[in-house]
Homo-oligomer: A and B are copies of this chain.
Amino acid sequence: MRMSAFFLPVLKENPSEAQIVSHRLMLRAGMIRQASAGIYSWLPLGFKVLKKIEQIVREEQDAAGCQEVLMPTIQSAELWRQSGRYDDYGKEMLRITDRHEREMLYGPTNEEQITEIFRESAKSYRELPKLLYHIQWKFRDEVRPRFGVMRGREFLMKDAYSFDLDEAGARRAYNKMFIAYLRTYARLGLKAIPMQADTGPIGGDLSHEFIVLAETGESAVFCDKALVDRDPLAEAIDMDSDLQPMVNSWTARYAATEEKHDEARFNALPAERQVAARGIEVGHIFYFGTKYSKPMNAAVAGPDGQPVTLHMGSYGIGVSRLVGAIIEASHDDAGIIWPDAVAPFNVALINLKADDAACRAACDDLYAKLKAAGLDVLYDDTEERAGAKFATMDLIGLPWQLTVGPRGLKSGVVELKRRATGERHELSPEAALAKLVG
Which of A135-143, A167-175, A263-271 is found at the contact surface with chain B? A135-143
Q: Is A14 an interface residue (CB 8 A)?
A: no
Q: Is A154 an interface residue (CB 8 A)?
A: yes
Give, as a whole number of angstroms, the nearest-CB distance from A152 to chain B: 9
Closest to A163 in B: B7
Chain B residues within an 8 Å CB radius of A42: 69-71
The CA-CA distance from A99 to B105 in the complex, in Å, is: 13
CB-contact partner of A7 in B98, B121, B154, under 8 A: B121
CB-contact partner of A69 in B47, B94, B99, under 8 A: B47
For window 42-71 of chain A, which residues contact chain B by CB distance below 8 Å? 42-44, 47, 50, 65, 67-71
Give, as a whole number of angstroms, the nearest-CB distance from A236 to chain B: 19
Give, as a whole number of angstroms, the nearest-CB distance from A105 to chain B: 10
Chain B residues within an 8 Å CB radius of A94: 74, 96, 98
The CA-CA distance from A278 to B91 in the complex, in Å, is: 49
The CA-CA distance from A36 to B6 in the complex, in Å, is: 41
Mask of A25-38 contacts with B, CB within 8 angstroms, 1/0: 00000100101100
Give, as a whole number of angstroms, the nearest-CB distance from A416 to chain B: 27
Q: Is A390 an interface residue (CB 8 A)?
A: no
Q: Is B130 within 8 A of A74, CB to CB?
A: no
The CA-CA distance from A65 to B4 in the complex, in Å, is: 12
The CA-CA distance from A139 to B141 in the complex, in Å, is: 19
Q: Is B137 within 8 A of A41, CB to CB?
A: no
CB-contact partner of A68 in B47, B65, B106, under 8 A: B47
Give, as a whole number of angstroms, the nearest-CB distance from A432 to chain B: 27
Chain B residues within an 8 Å CB radius of A67: 6-7, 44
Give, as a whole number of angstroms, the nearest-CB distance from A158 to chain B: 14
Q: Is A219 an interface residue (CB 8 A)?
A: no
For window 66-117 of chain A, which residues contact chain B by CB distance below 8 Å? 67-76, 78-79, 91-92, 94, 96, 98-99, 102, 104, 106, 113, 116-117
The CA-CA distance from A113 to B120 in the complex, in Å, is: 39
Residue in A68, A72, A137, A154 whose Cβ sees the most chain B Cβ within 10 Å: A72
Chain B residues within an 8 Å CB radius of A72: 35, 39-41, 137, 154
Mask of A11-34 contacts with B, CB within 8 angstroms, 1/0: 000000000000000000010010
Given A99-B91, A99-B143, A104-B36; A41-B132 close (CB under 8 Å): no
Q: Is A234 an interface residue (CB 8 A)?
A: no
Give, as a whole number of angstroms, the nearest-CB distance from A32 to chain B: 10
Given A98-B141, A143-B99; A65-B5 close (CB under 8 Å): yes
Chain B residues within an 8 Å CB radius of A79: 35
Closest to A155 in B: B72
CB-contact partner of A35 in B5, B76, B141, under 8 A: B76
Q: Is A122 an interface residue (CB 8 A)?
A: yes
Q: Is A96 within 8 A of B96, CB to CB?
A: yes
Q: Is A44 within 8 A of B71, CB to CB?
A: no
The CA-CA distance from A127 to B43 in the complex, in Å, is: 15
Chain B residues within an 8 Å CB radius of A98: 94, 141
The CA-CA distance from A106 to B69 in the complex, in Å, is: 22
Q: Is A189 an interface residue (CB 8 A)?
A: no
Q: Is A217 an interface residue (CB 8 A)?
A: no
Q: Is A406 an interface residue (CB 8 A)?
A: no
Q: Is A408 an interface residue (CB 8 A)?
A: no
Q: Is A41 within 8 A of B69, CB to CB?
A: yes
CB-contact partner of A117 in B36, B39, B43, B137, under 8 A: B43
The 5 closest A-B pairs by CB, nearest first: A9-B121, A42-B70, A36-B76, A91-B99, A41-B71
